[in-house]
Structure 1
Amino acid sequence: MGTRIKRTLNRVKFAAIGAAAGASLGALVSRNAASTAAGVGALVGATIGEKRSTVETTIDQIKTKKQS
């Protein structure tokens, strides 16, 4: 799988997880809070997914160079 596709899918996966977690926590307060918390959770999740993907890609590149 290409690096760009892998990074995008990782970002999407973590954004969805963050949105679900944020919405569930915000729903304890109100509907408006659920909506806002879902947006914030998605943003945080996408950021985490991007960073995690970058680290995994770097580690894979180092492993490949070491094997050569």
Structure 2
Amino acid sequence: MGKLNDNRVFCPHCGADLQGDPIPEEIQHHYGATHSSRKIGISSMKEDCVIKWQCPDCKGQWKRKL
């Protein structure tokens, strides 16, 4: 198995680190990542997917890159 993503992302508005808690090593392969994310996904009923993200600290929002 290749290297897993650590979900290291920073808020484009306030610079907060959005990497969450570590995922237990024995189940990381289910998530494809070593850590959870603190980003809040905002979805659209019309598009039936996450369309933008929100920072839990500053509440700033940005479009999801597809």
TM-score, L = length of structure 1: 0.28
Which protein has the larger Cα radius of gyration, Structure 1 or Structure 2?
1
| Richer in helix (by share) | 1
